[in-house]
Amino acid sequence: GDSVTQMEGPVTLSEEAFLTINCTYTATGYPSLFWYVQYPGEGLQLLLKATKADDKGSNKGFEATYRKETTSFHLEKGSVQVSDSAVYFCALSDRDYKLSFGAGTTVTVRA
């Protein structure tokens, strides 16, 4: 079945550091890929998405490129802020009715 594997955390960074969170997937078809973010005590917010190979999703300084050849969708941000501290989830939707999520990566940014 469909599955998502993402980099284990926690990740601790200083402000203005570069952030990468690795995500790889397994799917039978051609899934759409998502990154969601969960701030403390809140639900999930859609951060970005990509629907086909080589698409780049971007939002709030975050980027991720859909790489079919490596089945990956790594999340990057060039200069993180304290406000980026959250749990980040990689997810896929394989043209069906559900999202399949990774286990989440906790990111803490220190001033």
Interface ranges with another protein (CB under 8 A): 4, 32, 34, 36, 42-46, 49, 51, 89, 91, 93, 95-104
Closer residue to another protein in complex, CB, 64/100: 100
- Minimum Å gap between C-beta 59 and another protein is 13
Q: Which residue has the tokens 């990057």?
A: 76
Closer residue to another protein in complex, CB, 28/97: 97
- Minimum Å gap between C-beta 110 and another protein is 22
3-state secondary structure string across 33-64: EEEEEECCCCCEEEEEEECCCCCEEEECCEEE
Nearest to 58 by CA among 47, 67, 74, 46: 47
Closer residue to another protein in complex, CB, 84/102: 102
State the first-to-last Cα distance of the chain, in angstroms, to the nearest integer: 41
The 3-state DSSP composition of the chain as helix, strand, coil percent (nearest 5) reads 5, 50, 45
- Minimum Å gap between C-beta 102 and another protein is 5
Closer residue to another protein in complex, CB, 19/89: 89
